[in-house]
Amino acid sequence: MKEFWTAFSVQRRVIFALILRETRTRYGKTRLGHLWALFEPLAHMLTFAAIFSFMGRPSPLGGSVALLILTGLFPFSLFSNLSTQLMNAVEANKVLLSYPHVTPFDVMVARMILEVLTQIVVFVFMLFILATQGLWDMRIDNSLELIIVILVCTALGTGLGLINSVLTFKFPSYAQTFGILMRPMYFMSGIFFVISYMSTDIQNILYYNPLSHLIEWFRSALYISYESSFLDKKYVLNFTMTILFFGLLSQRLVRHKIRQQR
């Protein structure tokens, strides 16, 4: 047991050091670099909210259009950024793998923690902006469900990111392919519309997209008195656990090869 806690303490310090390094690398040493993490999603939300307002399109769930977009943008961004950041984690930190205490898994855990914390801070900040402008009444239907959705989004993005890192290791051009595949998902996952209010034919097409369920789940947890008729929690949980299992398994199978080619 003593050896276990010693190893855990070493790994904890390694991951914390990697998080600090990732923060410096991604956002720089100045506060202006950190503001970019806030600016990009804020620009997305305000741009599309302005377009929909100009078109006279109200939110189907009531309240502001900006809140509708934000509740779709956050789950998508959390999943998308995790799956992309973990895909490139090992390649970006290949030099650090020469240290005996640093493993590829440590690098990806550090990126995962940093990305989740960043996305949550950005989401809370944007909610605060909407609240100060009177566009959100600061009420959440089910806080526990909201936390569960965030955890499921994290698990799904992490699982796919682990798989992506292995595919990128085997096929370097896969990174560009994945980026191309994710672009249509931005418009087909329900960020800008409510899937429950769409026709049955469209719902049948979008049913197999787990992001559609996560966004509907997230909105059901945040909006008062909204229950999605489209949401299938069993499907999205089974899908997430399957992806996470294969992600961990793929890392287990190639971890020695990654170290050998560092």
pLDDT in tens, 205-243: 999 999 999 999 999 999 988 999 999 999 999 999 999
Q: Which residues of 11-43 are buried (b: 16+ CB within 10 A; e: fewer)?
A: beebbeebbeebbeebbeeeeeebeebeeebbe
Averaged confidence pLDDT in the chain: 87
* pLDDT value at 261 more than 60: no
pLDDT of residue 138: 83
Q: Whole domain around residue 60: which residue ranges?
A: 2-260
Residue 77, burial from CB neighbour count under 10 angstroms (0-12, 13-18, 19+): buried
Q: Kindly report the pTM of this predicted structure.
A: 0.90
* pLDDT value at 34 more than 70: no
Q: Give the number of domains in the chain.
A: 1
Q: Which residues of 99-128 are buried (b: 16+ CB within 10 A; e: fewer)?
A: eeebbbbbbbbbbbbbbbebbeebbeebbe
- Whether 175 and 104 have beta carbons less than 8 Å apart is answered as no
pLDDT tens column, 44-60:
888 888 888 788 788 88
CA 221 from chain centre, in angstroms, equals 17
